[in-house]
């Protein structure tokens, strides 16, 4: 069973067996506009909850991507280097940014459910 949670900074994390897949929400991708570049985190690097780990650039702006939880980056979506527009096309699927091995599962309780996130964005 997997669970998806959200941050107030518009990241999502899908958690299964202490591994999280992280990306930005549809709302965030729509606000950014056409995404032209993604800077991914290094595999093996440490991520700290609430700290920036990646960058996404669009025709409108550049934005940091913050880690929803602390952990070790175990994979990055290298496809985004060649095709950053996938983040716009499928933000909650093929447009994922990185996978993280969660080192502090208690941090998950600080994240929002989908319902809470929809209330935040007004959707």
In angstroms, the Cα distances linking 104 to 22, 31, 48, 49, 65 are: 16, 30, 10, 9, 19
In a domain, 23, yes or no: yes
Residue 117 lies in a domain: no
10: its two tokens: 């518009």
Q: What is the pLDDT along the chain (123 residues), one digit of tens a residue?
A: 459 999 999 999 999 999 999 999 999 999 999 999 999 999 999 999 999 999 999 999 999 999 999 999 999 999 999 999 999 999 999 999 999 999 999 999 999 999 999 999 987
Q: How far apart are CA 3 and CA 14, in angstroms?
A: 5
Q: Residue 80, exposed/middle/buried by CB under 10 A (0-12, 13-18, 19+)?
A: buried
Q: Provide the domain limits for residue 42.
A: 3-112
The CATH code of the domain that includes 21 is 2.40.50.100
Write down the pLDDT at residue 1.
Answer: 42
Measured CA to CA, the distance from residue 85 to residue 81 in angstroms comes to 10
Q: How many domains are there within the chain?
A: 1
**Is 123 inside any structural domain?**
no
Residue 97, pLDDT score:
98
Rounded to two decimals, the pTM is: 0.95
CA pair distance 25, 15, nearest whole angstrom? 15
Could you tell me if residue 52 is inside a domain? yes
């Amino acid at each position: 069973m997997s669970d998806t949670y959200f941050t107030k900074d518009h990241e999502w994390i899908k958690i299964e067996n202490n591994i999280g897949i992280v990306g930005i929400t549809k709302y965030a991708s729509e606000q950014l506009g056409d995404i032209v570049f993604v800077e991914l985190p290094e595999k093996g690097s440490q991520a700290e909850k609430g700290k920036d780990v990646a960058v996404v650039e669009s025709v409108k702006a550049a934005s940091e991507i913050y880690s929803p939880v602390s952990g070790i980056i175990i994979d990055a979506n290298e496809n985004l280097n060649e095709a950053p527009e996938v983040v716009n096309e499928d933000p909650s699927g093929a447009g994922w940014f990185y996978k993280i091995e969660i080192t502090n599962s208690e941090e998950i309780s600080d994240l929002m459910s989908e319902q809470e996130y929809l209330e935040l964005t007004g959707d």
